[in-house]
Amino acid sequence: MVASQETLDKLEDIGLNMYERKIYSALLGRGVSTAGELSEMTNVPRSRAYDVLESLAEKGFSVIKSSQPMEYVAIPPQQAIENIKQQHRRELDEKLDKLDTFKDSEAVNELEGLYDQGLELVEPEEMSGSLKGVHQVNQHMGTMMKEAEDSIKIVTSEDGLNDLHENHGDVIREAKEAGVNVQVLAPVTDDNRDSFEAIGEQVEVKHLDDSDEFDVPNGEFAIVDNQALMSMTPDNVHETQDTAFWSNSDHMAQNTMEPVFDMLWHHAEKKP
């Protein structure tokens, strides 16, 4: 007996390929079985069944029994999940250790030198590009704020304020502690008031409100020193389609976007 397609799809989400999913679910239904028996039950080629079962054992989903013919014992699902979690943690720790070692190596110093050399050949305004996907946008936003020396000015949306608090709250606090002037503008509602108050404990935050006297532009952007980041998509797009434009142009950041921010800041309210 093999599990339902829905359950097999869930096993794919945790890293089992098609043959592994079929073999493991069939093995669970028998407890102990041979590769030949499982091959017949699942239509997995017998020549592949042995490799699949060995892979399942390495991942912690089965145990190879010393017998003739060779048999395999199923690991209970809850224990198998813990086994693969521990394996992923070990692999992640190993990768992080390698990254830390590489970060402190002479190789990185050499690469930094190449980067500095390249920058000398490029005009700042040529350093620009588009960012695709919420992860890449958030990652670049975090990098910009970590490198800030003088100021961070952010205009965001209702949902954007919650995202800012969740993804960059610690970076904003560290920037403020380092002497960076941080200002945040966003419309405040009952849905993001907690974020407004939490960020407001660290930096200057104002409520951006439409009124009859002043129309608030509908958009999100950030100015960090001489860099600018501007959202190109609304909040309701799928996170994979979230797109932003980044530029390292002094003119765009300080002569074009900063006056807009300062105008909005002047008309905004300290409390909603």
Work out the pLDDT band at 211, boundaries 50, 70, 90.
low
Closest CA to 229 of 129, 146, 133: 129
Structure-token pair, residue 59: 């991942």
Q: How far is residue 21's CA from residue 14's CA, in Å, rounded to a whole number? A: 10
The proportion of the chain whose per-residue pLDDT surpasses 70, expressed as a percent, equals 92
Q: Contact at 8 Å (CB) between 211 and 217? A: no
Residue 112: the pLDDT is 80
List, for residues 233-251, the tens digit of each pLDDT value: 888 888 888 899 998 888 8
List, for residues 10-67, the tens digit of each pLDDT value: 999 999 999 999 999 999 999 999 999 999 999 999 999 999 999 999 999 999 988 7
Q: How far is residue 130's CA from residue 148's CA, in Å, rounded to a whole number? A: 20
Residue 78: the pLDDT is 93
Structure-token pair, residue 54: 């060995």
Domains of the chain with bracketed CATH:
1-116 (1.10.10.10), 129-267 (3.30.870.10)
Mean residue pLDDT across the chain: 88
Tell me: pLDDT of 125 over 60.
no
Residue 36: the pLDDT is 94
Work out the pLDDT band at 196, boundaries 50, 70, 90.
very high
When pLDDT is averaged across residues 64-93 and rounded to a whole number, the result is: 90
List, for residues 126-142, the tens digit of each pLDDT value: 567 889 999 999 999 99
Q: How far is residue 49's CA from residue 134's CA, in Å, rounded to a whole number? A: 40
Tell me: pLDDT of 68 over 60.
yes
Work out the pLDDT band at 254, boundaries 50, 70, 90.
confident
Residue 212: the pLDDT is 47
